[in-house]
Amino acid sequence: MSLNWQRNRRLSEFSTFGIGGPIFLFTVIETPEEMEEAFAFSTKYSLPYFILGKGSNCLFDDAGFDGIVLLNRIDFMNWEGDGCVKAGAGASFSLLGFKAASKGLTGLEFASGIPASVGGAIFMNAGANGRETRDSLSKVLYLDSNGNRREFSKEELAFGYRISSFQKMQGAILSATFQLEIGSHTRQRQLEIVGQRMKTQPYKEKSAGCVFRNPGLTLSAGALIERCELKGFSIGGAEVSRVHANFLINRGGATSKDVLSLIRAVQSRVYEKTGVHLELEIRILGSFHA
C-alpha cells in the first residue's frame, strides 16, 4: 500500500470559507489501513498532521500548514436493521440525516443541511434544533496516532456543547454507529428544518458556519452581535452576515487575517456593549490565535 502524497495543494480548496494557504503534503484517506499508514508516516518524519472532513467550522491560515493534511474519505453507510446505522467518518452527515428520514427513522433530522462529515460532527458534537450528535450516537471506532484501534461506547465518552472527548485525543475517528427510532413525519420535519435554515442562514455565501458559541441557554451569540448593530460590518473581504450575525462571510478575497481581525472586533464590541465575552466555536489552524 502506498499513499498518493501531493504537493501544491492549498487549504482554501477544502475550506467552506475559501481561505487557506499551501499544504506541505496532502493525501486522501479512503480506508482505516490508509489512516494507519499516514500516522506511521507522520511519526517517522516528525510531521504534524491535520484531519479534514468537509472543511467547515475551521479558519485556515493563509501561511498554510507545514505538515500533512489527511482528507478523510472513509465513506460508507451500512443500514443494519432495527434503526441501527454504521457510517464512515468521511461520510456526509447531512446525507446521513436525509437517508435516515427517508427510511422513516428519527434522530438525525437536524443533520440535514449541516456541512460536516460524520467524524467532524462527532468531534464537535454538532447540534441544531434542540438535538446534538451524541443523542443518537451508540459507539465510535477510533484509531490513535500510534496505530491502535479502539471502539468506544457513548457511555465511555464525554460530550458537551460543541465539545467531545476526541478534542483532547491524538488520532482519528474511523466510523460510528447510530441508534435511531421509528418516527412519524420524519421527512416533513426534515424539510421544515432545511427550509428554515435556508431562510435564516447565508447558505449561498462562503462561511464556516456559526463562528461563536452561544454564551448561555437563553443567550444567542447572533442576537448579541445584532444588538450591537454589527450586521454588515466588515474588515477587508470579511463581513458579518446581514442574514445571520453569527456567520462571518468571505465576500470576496478575504484573508485569514481579515477574518481574525473581524472576530476580534466583534468580540470587543459585544464585550464593551453587553459585558459578554464571545468564545469561538470554529477551530483555527495556524500560528495565530483569537
Cα–Cα dist 276/94, whole Å: 32
Catalytic residue among 162, 205, 228, 239, which?
Answer: 162
Cα–Cα dist 225/245, whole Å: 6
The residue with cell 470579511 is 238
Determine the distance from the C-alpha atom of residue 25 to the mean position of all C-alpha atoms in its chain, rounded to a whole number: 22
Catalytic residue among 36, 132, 239, 281, which?
Answer: 281
Cα–Cα dist 35/51, whole Å: 10
Cα–Cα dist 246/268, whole Å: 15
Q: Is 179 exposed, middle or buried (0-12, 13-18, 19+ CB in 10 A)?
A: middle
Q: Where are the strands (E) in 4-104, listed by range?
A: 9-10, 22-29, 49-52, 58-60, 65-72, 77-81, 84-88
Catalytic residue among 34, 109, 210, 239, which?
Answer: 210
Q: Give yes or no: 210 in active site.
A: yes
Q: Give yes or no: 162 in active site.
A: yes
Cα–Cα dist 113/56, whole Å: 12
The residues annotated with a catalytic role in the active site are: 162, 210, 281
